[in-house]
C-alpha cells in the first residue's frame, strides 16, 4: 500500500546525516531540531502556532483539553473514519455524537451535523478523510451560528488547500479554532516513528496547549493544569525537516497517480472513482484540492469482498477503510443511535476499497493494478 523504502532512498544521505548529528549532540528531547521544525511547519501552513506532540491521537486529545471541554459536552464527528477521533472524545468523558457522511466525498454530512446539534453541543470535529477537506464553508458557518468549537482532524490531509466561496485559500488544519495532524510513517508527511502536531492561530490557546503537552507546566515544577507527557522527539523532527520541503512534491506525485487511476477507470459502470468536492470545481484542475492519502473506489455491483480476495491472490495490496462504522463498534455503541441515521456509512462499508497510493507508484504498476481490477469486476 505504501513504499516507505522507495521514498527514503533518494533522501537517504540527508536523513542519515541529520540523525547522526542528533546522536552526536545527544539532544534527544526538546532539541533545536524540534523548534526549527515547528517554525518551518508554521511557515508552510501559514498558521501562527504549531505545537508538536507525540502522535495524532494525543494531538486530538490535547486540543480538546485545551479548549476546556467538560464531561457531558457533546462533540459531533463522523461515523465513517478511523477510531482515534471518537476514542479521545470518549476518554475525556465527553459525549461523542456520530453522524453520517456524504456518499461521494466520504466526508462528514453537513445536514447531519445540523440535525445533531443540541444545547449541549460544544464542538464539531470534521475529519478531512483520505486527503480531501470536508465542506468547511458550511461547517464554519454552522459553528459560528451555534457558537461551537471547530477542531479539524487533519491526520490525512496535510498539505491540502481549501478554497472558500470568496476565493480565499487556506491550508487544511488551519481553518478551525484548532487543527491536529499525525506524522505516523504512512501518513502524507510521515516520520520514522510516531509524531503529531496541533495547529492554532489563537495565542492564548497556543499557550494553554504548550503547557498541557508538558505536564501542565508553564513554569518549571509549577503544575497549573492537569497535563500529559506528549513530545515529538528530536530524531523525528530531524526526519520531518528533511521531508517537509518535499511535501508539495509528494502531494503532486499522489495526485498524478490518482489521475492515472481515475483515467483508467473512466466509463466503468461498477467502479466509481473518488469524487472531488464542489469546492474544487472553481479550480482548473479538480485534483488540486485533494492530497490522496488514500485512493478509494466504490465497487457498486456487490463484488467488493471477492475483489479484495482476488487482489491478494494477485499480490496487489489493497485495504478496506473502514470496514465497520464507528457507531457499531463495541466500544462506541449507544442506544441513542438509530440505524436509519447511518444509511450512507452502512452502504460505504460494503463498497469501498483503497488501492496502493504513495509517492513512488509508476505507470506500469498502475496499469497492472487497474487492468486487474477492471477485468475482475466486469467478469
Residues that bind ligand PLP (CB under 6 A): 55-57, 81-82, 84-85, 127, 153, 155-156, 182, 184, 194, 196
Q: Which three cell numbers stand for residue 255?
A: 495526485
| Smallest gap from residue 101 Cβ to ligand PLP (A) | 13
With contact defined as beta carbons under 8 Å apart, do 317 and 295 qualify? no
| Smallest gap from residue 58 Cβ to ligand PLP (A) | 7
Tell me the residue number closest to ligand PLP, measured at CB.
56
Q: Which three cell numbers stand for residue 95?
A: 459525549
Helix axes 84-91, 56-66, angle to 10 degrees: 40
Of the two residues 182 and 273, which places its CB atom closer to ligand PLP in the complex?
A: 182
Of the two residues 33 and 153, which places its CB atom closer to ligand PLP in the complex?
A: 153
Of the two residues 7 and 154, which places its CB atom closer to ligand PLP in the complex?
A: 154
| Smallest gap from residue 191 Cβ to ligand PLP (A) | 10
**Kind and range of the H or E run holding 169:** strand 169-171
* Cα separation, 198 vs 204, whole angstroms: 14
| Smallest gap from residue 258 Cβ to ligand PLP (A) | 18
With contact defined as beta carbons under 8 Å apart, do 348 and 106 qualify? yes
Of the two residues 189 and 276, which places its CB atom closer to ligand PLP in the complex?
A: 189
| Smallest gap from residue 158 Cβ to ligand PLP (A) | 11
- What single DSSP character describes residue 123? E
CB count in 10 Å sphere of residue 288: 17
Terminal C-alpha separation, the chain: 25
Neighbouring residues of 101: CB distance < 8 A, sequence distance ≥ 6: 78, 79, 80, 107, 108, 109, 112, 129, 344, 345, 348
| Smallest gap from residue 180 Cβ to ligand PLP (A) | 8
Of the two residues 238 and 326, which places its CB atom closer to ligand PLP in the complex?
A: 326
* Of 156, 155, 159, residue with least CA distance to 171: 159
Of the two residues 106 and 265, which places its CB atom closer to ligand PLP in the complex?
A: 106
Q: Which three cell numbers stand for residue 182?
A: 499525525
The CA dihedral of 89, 173, 248, 280, to the nearest 10 degrees, is 110
| Smallest gap from residue 302 Cβ to ligand PLP (A) | 28
C-alpha pair distances (Å), 361 with each of 168, 255, 285: 32, 11, 21
Of the two residues 118 and 186, which places its CB atom closer to ligand PLP in the complex?
A: 186
| Smallest gap from residue 24 Cβ to ligand PLP (A) | 28
Of the two residues 57 and 262, which places its CB atom closer to ligand PLP in the complex?
A: 57
Neighbouring residues of 71: CB distance < 8 A, sequence distance ≥ 6: 92, 93, 94
Amino acid at each position: 500500500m505504501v513504499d516507505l523504502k522507495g521514498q527514503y532512498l533518494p533522501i537517504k544521505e540527508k536523513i542519515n546525516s541529520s540523525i547522526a548529528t542528533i546522536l552526536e549532540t545527544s539532544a534527544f528531547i526538546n532539541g533545536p531540531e524540534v523548534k526549527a521544525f515547528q517554525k518551518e511547519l508554521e511557515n508552510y501552513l501559514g498558521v501562527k502556532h504549531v505545537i508538536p506532540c507525540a502522535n495524532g491521537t494525543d494531538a486530538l486529545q490535547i486540543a480538546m483539553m485545551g479548549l476546556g471541554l467538560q464531561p457531558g459536552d457533546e462533540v459531533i464527528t463522523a461515523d465513517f473514519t478511523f477510531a482515534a477521533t471518537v476514542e479521545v472524545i470518549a476518554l475525556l468523558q465527553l459525549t461523542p455524537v456520530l453522524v453520517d457522511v456524504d456518499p461521494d466525498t466520504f466526508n462528514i454530512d453537513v445536514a447531519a451535523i445540523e440535525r445533531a446539534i443540541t444545547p449541549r453541543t460544544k464542538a464539531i470535529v470534521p475529519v478531512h478523510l483520505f486527503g480531501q477537506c470536508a465542506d468547511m464553508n458550511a461547517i464554519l458557518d454552522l459553528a459560528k451560528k451555534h457558537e461551537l468549537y471547530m477542531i479539524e482532524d487533519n491526520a490525512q490531509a496535510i498539505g491540502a488547500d481549501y478554497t472558500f466561496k470568496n476565493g480565499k485559500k487556506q491550508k487544511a488544519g488551519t481553518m478551525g479554532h484548532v487543527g491536529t495532524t499525525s506524522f505516523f510513517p504512512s501518513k502524507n508527511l510521515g516520520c520514522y516513528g510516531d509524531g503529531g502536531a496541533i495547529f492554532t492561530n489563537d495565542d492564548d490557546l497556543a499557550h494553554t496547549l504548550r503547557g498541557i503537552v508538558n505536564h501542565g507546566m508553564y513554569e518549571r515544577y509549577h503544575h497549573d493544569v492537569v497535563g500529559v507527557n506528549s513530545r515529538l522527539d528530536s530524531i523525528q523532527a530531524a526526519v520531518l525537516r528533511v521531508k517537509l520541503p518535499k511535501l508539495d512534491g509528494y502531494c503532486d506525485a499522489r495526485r498524478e497517480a490518482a489521475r492515472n487511476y481515475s483515467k483508467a477507470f473512466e466509463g466503468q459502470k461498477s467502479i466509481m472513482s473518488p469524487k472531488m468536492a464542489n469546492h474544487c470545481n472553481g479550480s482548473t484542475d479538480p485534483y488540486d484540492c485533494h492530497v490522496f492519502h488514500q485512493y478509494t473506489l466504490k465497487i457498486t455491483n456487490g463484488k467488493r469482498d471477492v475483489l479484495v480476495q482476488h487482489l491478494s491472490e494477485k499480490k496487489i495490496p489493497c485495504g478496506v477503510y473502514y470496514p465497520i462504522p464507528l457507531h457499531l463498534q463495541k466500544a462506541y455503541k449507544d442506544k441513542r443511535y438509530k440505524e436509519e441515521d447511518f444509511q450512507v456509512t452502512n452502504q460505504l462499508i460494503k463498497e469501498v476499497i483503497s488501492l496502493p497510493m504513495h509517492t513512488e507508484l509508476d505507470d506500469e504498476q498502475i496499469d497492472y493494478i487497474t487492468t486487474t481490477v477492471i477485468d475482475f469486476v466486469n467478469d
